[in-house]
Structure 1
C-alpha cells in the first residue's frame, strides 16, 4: 500500500474504526441515570452509552463533511490497485451523504427516544450503512461496487426491523430483504456475464474492451439487461418499485428517512459508474431501457400517489416519480450539463426529503406517529411556522418556484430539450402537473382544514433550528441555484476528464 492509497481511503478508514470503537466503548460509558428517559411501556431505560455514541457520531460526521469538501479541489486518482477512485464527483456526493445522515440523526433523536429505539446499535448501523455508500460511490471495480452495495443494504435491513414489536416493521423488513436480495442477485449475475465477456472486473478496462466491435454483443446485451434491472430495483423505479411503498410505510419514520435520503445519492453514483463510466459504448442498448423506466416511473408514481392518504406512502410514490426525473437526466450522455443537472436533482431531492420527514418526526409524539393527512389538519392555526416549512417542502417536491425543486426540474427539462428529447420533456411536464395535485392537497389540509385533534410539536430546539435552516436552504438555493449547479458541473467535468 502506497501513501496515496492510504490518503484515498482515509475517510472510510476513519469512519470504520471510529464506528467500531463507539460500539465497544458504549458498553463501558456510564451516563446519569436521572437523565435517561423511559420509553413506551416505561419498562426499559435508554441503553448505557447512547448519548456518548450520539455525540461523537455527530462530531465524526461533521469532520467527514469538512474533509470531503476540502478534497473537492483534488485531482482524480485511482487507488488500491484499481479498486477505489477518489474524484470530485465522489467527494461531492460523499459530503452530501454525510450531511444527510448527520441531519437525519439530529431529526430522529427525540422520535427514537419516545419509541425505545435510541440505542447505540441504531447509530452504529446508520454509520455502517454510510460506509457502504461511500465505498459504493468510489467504486472503480465491479467487486468494489458490489461490496459497497451490500455493505449499504445489510444495515438497512436491520434498521427497518429494529422495532420488532411492530408487525408492520417486521413485514416491511422481510419484503425489503427478499426483494433487495433479488435485486443484488440480478446485479451480480449481470456483472458475472460482463466479466465473462471482458475477462476483467476493472471499470476502465471493461470500457476499453466493450468498445471493441469484435466482442460477443449478444451476451453483453443479456448482461446489460440484468444490470439495468438491478439498478432499477435499487433506485425503486417502475416496474421494480413494489418494495418502496411498503417499506416507506412500515418502517419507523426515522428509518424511512435513512432509506429515502442518502442511499439515493449512492444509487445515482452506481448508475453513473456502471452506465456512463463503463458501458457507454453500449448506449444504444441501455438508453431505450432508461427511457421506458423513466416514463413508467413518472406516470405510475404520480398517478398512484393521488389515491394515498398515508403521507409516507404518498412520499414513496413521489420518490418513484422523482427518480424518473433523475433517469431522464442521464439520457443526454454526451452532454456534461445533463449529467450535472441529474446530479443537482438528486442532491436537492435529498435536501427536500430531509425537511419533509424531519417535519413528520417533529409532529410525532410518544404513542403517535404523524403519518396521515388528518394528522396535518389545521397545522397553520396552531403552528404557522411548521406549516410554512411543510408548504416549502411540498412546493419544492412539486417543482413550484421559487423553491429548489423548480430549478432542479428546469435543469433536467433543458437538458432533454437540448438533446432533442422534446417528447420526453412534454411527458415530464404533464406528469409534474399531475404530481402537483397531491402535493398541493397537503398544503390545503394544513392551511384550510379545521384541526380535529391536538397537534403537538416535539424535538429539541436544535432539531427545530436545523429544520428551519433546511427550509431556508430549499428557498435560497431555489432562488440562487447557480452556486450548487456550477459545483455539480465542475465536479462532473473534472471527473469525466480524469476518467
Structure 2
C-alpha cells in the first residue's frame, strides 16, 4: 500500500494517467502532500516498528528502488506531454529516495541509520518543494491563457515570459540534480549514505543511481532547451498576476537558497529522524 502511494514500480501504473488526466490543481496536491505522508508512514512502520527486520525489508526496497529509477527515467524520455513526463520522473525520484532507506542498517549495525533516513527525508522534502513549484507554474500558465499541456507548448517561453521561464529553469535544474540547486544536495546526501556503508553492493547501487540520473537530466534539460531555443507557434504572452508570480518566485528562491545553504533543512530532517529512532 505504501509503495502504491509513493508510486514506485511495480505499483506505478496509475501515476502517469492520473497526472496527465487530472486538473493541474489536483495533480499538484497528489504530487505533494501524499508523498510526504507516505514517507512519514514508511518511517513509522519500517524504522520505528520493524527496524530489527531491516535486513529483510531493505532487500525489497532495493528492488523497488532500482526498478523505479530505470523504468521511470527511461519512460520519461519518450513522453511529449509535460505532466506525463513529470509523472514518470516522480516514479524515478521516489526510487532514488528509497535508496536512502536501504542504507540505514548495515550488517546488523544501526550506526548509520540516522544519516541514511534523514537523507531520505531531506530528499522527499526537497522533491515536494520543487514539485509544488513546477505544477504551480504549469497551473498558472494554463489559467493565464498559455497552453502548457505538451512540452512543445513551452517553446519560446524564455522570450515571452522570461521571469517565469527562469523560475521553471530553477525547478528543472533542481529535479535534474544540478548544482547549486537543492536537488543536487538531496541526491548527494543519498549517494553519501550509500557510499559510507563501505560495502561493494551499496557502492554499485550508488553508481547505478548516478548513471540513471544522467538519463533523467536529459528530459529535464529538454524542457529548458524548448523554452529558450525553440521558436513558438504563437508569440502571445501569458497574462501575469503579480501575486502568483511572487509566490512562484519565493518557491524558486527557496530551491536555490536551500541548495546554497542546505545545512539548516538537513539538520531539521536529522533531528526528526533521531527523535523517531529514539521512541
Q: TM-score, normalised by structure 1?
A: 0.53
Does the 8 A contact of 1:362 with 1:458 survive in 2? no
Does the 8 A contact of 2:146 with 2:237 survive in 1? no
Aligned residue number for residue 36 of structure 2:
265
Aligned residue number for residue 296 of structure 1:
67
**Deviation for aligned residue 1:458:** 4.1
Output the CA distance in 2 between the equivalents of 1:254 and 1:457: 18
Does the 8 A contact of 1:311 with 1:371 survive in 2? yes
Note the alpha carbon deviations across 1:70-102, whole angstroms, 9 max, x for none. Answer: xxxxxxxxxxxxxxxxxxxxxxxxxxxxxxxxx
**Deviation for aligned residue 1:280:** 1.7
Match of 1:329, SS state, is helix
**Deviation for aligned residue 1:231:** 1.6
Output the CA distance in 1 between the equivalents of 2:264 and 2:177: 19
Aligned residue number for residue 350 of structure 1:
128
Aligned residue number for residue 404 of structure 1:
182
Which consecutive segments of 4 or more residues in structure 1 shift more than 6 A? none
Relative to structure 2, which stretch is displaced further, 466-475 or 270-279? Answer: 270-279
Is 1:443 matched up with 2:221? no
Aligned residue number for residue 323 of structure 1:
94
Distance 1:367 1:473, change over 3 A: closer
**Deviation for aligned residue 1:367:** 7.1
Does the 8 A contact of 1:364 with 1:456 survive in 2? no
Size of the alignment, in residue pairs? 269
Does the 8 A contact of 1:355 with 1:393 survive in 2? yes
Relative to structure 2, which stretch is displaced further, 394-403 or 330-339? Answer: 330-339
Does the 8 A contact of 2:157 with 2:227 survive in 1? yes
Output the CA distance in 2 between the equivalents of 1:480 and 1:281: 35
In structure 2, the gaps of 5 or more residues are 105-109
Output the CA distance in 2 between the equivalents of 1:268 and 1:491: 13
- The two structures, once aligned, show a CA RMSD in angstroms of 1.3
**Deviation for aligned residue 1:451:** 1.2
Does the 8 A contact of 1:254 with 1:361 survive in 2? yes
Aligned residue number for residue 58 of structure 2:
287
Does the 8 A contact of 2:144 with 2:240 survive in 1? no
Distance 1:449 1:495, change over 3 A: same
Aligned residue number for residue 100 of structure 1:
none
Output the CA distance in 1 between the equivalents of 2:273 and 2:157: 41
Identify the structure with bigger relative contact order (alpha carbons < 8 Å, sequence gap 6+): 2
Q: 2:78 aligns with which of 292, 297, 307?
A: 307
**Deviation for aligned residue 1:460:** 3.3
Output the CA distance in 2 between the equivalents of 1:357 and 1:458: 17
In structure 1, the gaps of 5 or more residues are 1-229
Q: Which structure: larger Rg?
A: 1
Match of 2:275, SS state, is helix
Q: TM-score, normalised by structure 2?
A: 0.93
Does the 8 A contact of 2:119 with 2:193 survive in 1? yes
